[in-house]
């Protein structure tokens, strides 16, 4: 159970780092927020035949649930790595594995739901995805490394 809690803490810290890097990118490049989380919620609701309400209510629910999908992905990636990943891996290796796990955990469902198609992404699109996920990996790996040292 300790591994799960360590992973959840690392995932939460990594998700905070990912969000900060994303918001810095948005501010620096004056780009809008991505609509993919909200569109993912909409597609998921359609697939599962869940009624989100009238258009205004559904829009508000998508706006709230979209970011929560990101938190669930970040927490889940941290917990999964802590339970099933290599124990006491070097921080650099854990960084890469955690970044890839979090990136796959967000991009694969969006691709399967046909919200996005990574084959069509530009270099800037890829950078907007990779850099925040690397920040996630760095911070999550550092937190896990510190928590594992206290085991």
Whether the pLDDT of residue 150 is over 70: the answer is: no
In a domain, 120, yes or no: yes
Write the DSSP string, the chain: -HHHHHHHHHHHHHHHHHHHHHHHHHHHHTPPPPSHHHHHHHHHHHHTT----SHHHHHHHHHHHHHHHHHHHHHHHHHHHHHHSPTT--HHHHHHHHHHHHHHHHHHHHHHTTS--GGG--HHHHHHHHHHHHHHHHHHHHHHHHHHHT-
In a domain, 75, yes or no: yes
In a domain, 83, yes or no: yes
Residue 151 has what pLDDT? 62
Whether the pLDDT of residue 26 is over 80: the answer is: yes
Once rounded to an integer, what is the mean pLDDT over residues 90-116? 97
Once rounded to an integer, what is the mean pLDDT over residues 102-128? 96
In a domain, 79, yes or no: yes
Once rounded to an integer, what is the mean pLDDT over residues 134-141? 98
In a domain, 35, yes or no: no
Residue 87 has what pLDDT? 85
In a domain, 58, yes or no: no
**Count of domains in the chain?**
1
Per the structure, the complete domain to which residue 126 belongs is given by: 2-30+70-149
Residue 32 has what pLDDT? 94
Once rounded to an integer, what is the mean pLDDT over residues 86-94? 93
Q: Are 4 and 82 in contact (CB under 8 A)?
A: yes
Whether the pLDDT of residue 1 is over 80: the answer is: yes
In a domain, 51, yes or no: no
Mean pLDDT of the chain: 96
Buried b / exposed e over 67-82, threshold 16 CB at 10 Å, is eebbeebbbbbbbbbb
Residue 88 has what pLDDT? 84
In a domain, 116, yes or no: yes
Once rounded to an integer, what is the mean pLDDT over residues 23-35? 95
């Amino acid at each position: 159970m300790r591994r799960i809690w360590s992973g959840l803490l690392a995932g939460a810290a990594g998700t905070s780092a990912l969000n900060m890097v994303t918001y810095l990118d948005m501010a620096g490049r004056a780009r809008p927020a991505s609509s993919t989380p909200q569109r993912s919620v909409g597609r998921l609701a359609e697939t599962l035949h869940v009624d989100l309400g009238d258009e205004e209510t559904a829009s508000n629910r998508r706006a709230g649930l979209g970011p929560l999908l990101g938190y669930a992905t970040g927490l889940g990636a941290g917990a999964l790595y802590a339970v099933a990943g290599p124990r006491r891996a070097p921080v650099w290796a854990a960084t890469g594995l955690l970044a890839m796990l979090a990136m796959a955990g967000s991009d694969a469902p969006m691709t399967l739901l046909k919200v996005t198609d990574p084959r069509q992404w530009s270099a800037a699109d890829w950078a907007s995805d990779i850099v925040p996920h690397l920040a996630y990996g760095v911070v999550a790996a550092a937190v896990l490394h510190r928590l594992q040292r206290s085991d």
